[in-house]
Amino acid sequence: MSIATAAKPWRSFAALGDSFTEGLSDVLGPDGRHVGWADRVALVLAARVPDFTYANLAVRGRLAPAVRTEQVSAAVRLGADLVSFGAGVNDTLRRSYDPRVTAGAIEGAVRELRGAGSDVLLFAWGDPGRRSSVMGRVRERIRLLNSATRAIASTYGCYLVEFWGVAVFDENRHWDDDRLHLSASGHEMAAALALQALGVGDDSWRTPRPIERVGRVTSIRRDLDWARGHFGPWLARRLAGRSSGDGISAKRPDLVRIDAST
C-alpha cells in the first residue's frame, strides 16, 4: 500500500492521543475545555456531510502504549470512519524511552483500527531542535520515530501529517509559554495541515509571516522564566511519578453530532 491522500465522505471522526489532540493551550470552548486542532478539523468535515459525529478520547500526558490500550478499543467500539492517532512525543521525553515499544504501540493501534475498517490519520512530528536547545536533545529520537511512523503509514495506507521541517512552526506565536503545547494559532495551523493531509484543505497555511527576533538578554530572560515556570514543575512531576493527565477524562468520549454552523 502507500500513504493515503484522497478525501472521503467520512461521517464520523474519533481523535486519539495526548495533550496535542486534547487541545491543550488553545482557547476554551463552551464546555470549559480547550478546543484544539481536532475540534477544528471536525467542524470542517461536518460541513461536507449531514449528521456528522465526532469523539475526542485524548488525555494529556498519555504515552503511546497507554493511548493504544485505553483509547483504541474505545474507538473500535465507536466504529468511527476516520480515527487520528497522535502520540509518541511524550515517550521520547522519558529517560526509559524504548523506540521499539513506541513504534510497536503505534503499529499495533493502526493494525487494529484498520482491521476494524477505519481510515487512520498519523503524525510525523516537528523538529524540536529548531526552537530549543533543551528539546533538541530528543531530536534524533523524534526523527527516528517519524521514520517508523512513515513506514507504518505506507504499509497500512494511512493519511499522514508532516510537521518535520515546517518552518512556520518556528514562530513563537504558535506556541504556548510552556514551549511544549501549541497556542490557539498553532492549533489553527495544525488543523490546516491535517485537513491538507486528508485531501480536504490546501497549502495556503504556508503563507509566511515575519519571525520575531529578540536580543540575547531577552532570550536568556525568557529561558529563565520558562525554566522556573514550566520546566521545573514538569521535572518535579516526572520525579514524583505523576502525570498531568492524572484525574483527567476524555472531553468527548462518545460520537456526538456536531453542527458545522456553530
| Predicted confidence (pLDDT) per residue in 212-225, tens digit | 555 666 555 655 55
The model's pTM: 0.86
Q: What digits encode the pLDDT tens for the residues 131-158?
A: 777 677 899 999 999 999 999 999 999 9
Contact 178, 235 (CB under 8 A): no
Q: How far is CA 221 from the centre of its chain?
A: 29
Cell readout for 72 is 483504541
Residue 5: its pLDDT value, please? Answer: 97
Dihedral angle sign, alpha carbons of residues 155, 43, 169, 219: negative
- Which residue has 518535579 as its cell numbers? 236
Distance, in Å, from the CA atom of 252 to the CA atom of 55, rounded to the nearest integer, reads 5
Q: Homologous superfamily of 12-203+251-257 in CATH?
A: SGNH hydrolase (3.40.50.1110)
**Cα dist. 176→61, 179, 187, 190, 222 in Å?**
16, 6, 11, 14, 13
The residues, ordered by sequence, that sit 6+ positions from 238 with a Cβ below 8 Å of its Cβ are 94
Distance, in Å, from the CA atom of 181 to the CA atom of 168, rounded to the nearest integer, reads 15
Domain boundaries, the chain: 12-203+251-257
Strand order in the sheet with 119-124: 159-162, 119-124, 82-86, 12-17, 53-56, 252-257
Contact 46, 53 (CB under 8 A): no
Distance, in Å, from the CA atom of 203 to the CA atom of 4, rounded to the nearest integer, reads 17
Q: Radius of gyration over alpha carbons of the chain, in Å? A: 18
Mean pLDDT of the chain: 87
Distance, in Å, from the CA atom of 244 to the CA atom of 233, rounded to the nearest integer, reads 10
Q: What is the mean pLDDT of residues 47-68?
A: 97
Is residue 109 pLDDT above 60, yes or no? yes
The string of DSSP codes covering 150-162 is: HHHHHHHT-EEEE
The residues, ordered by sequence, that sit 6+ positions from 231 with a Cβ below 8 Å of its Cβ are 134
Q: Give the pLDDT band of residue 241 (cuts 50, 70, 90).
A: low
Cell readout for 68 is 493504544
Q: Quick one: which of 145, 123, 146, 152 has its CA closest to 21?
A: 123
SS3 annotation, 170-181 = HCHHHECCCCCC
Q: What is the mean pLDDT of residues 105-132?
A: 94
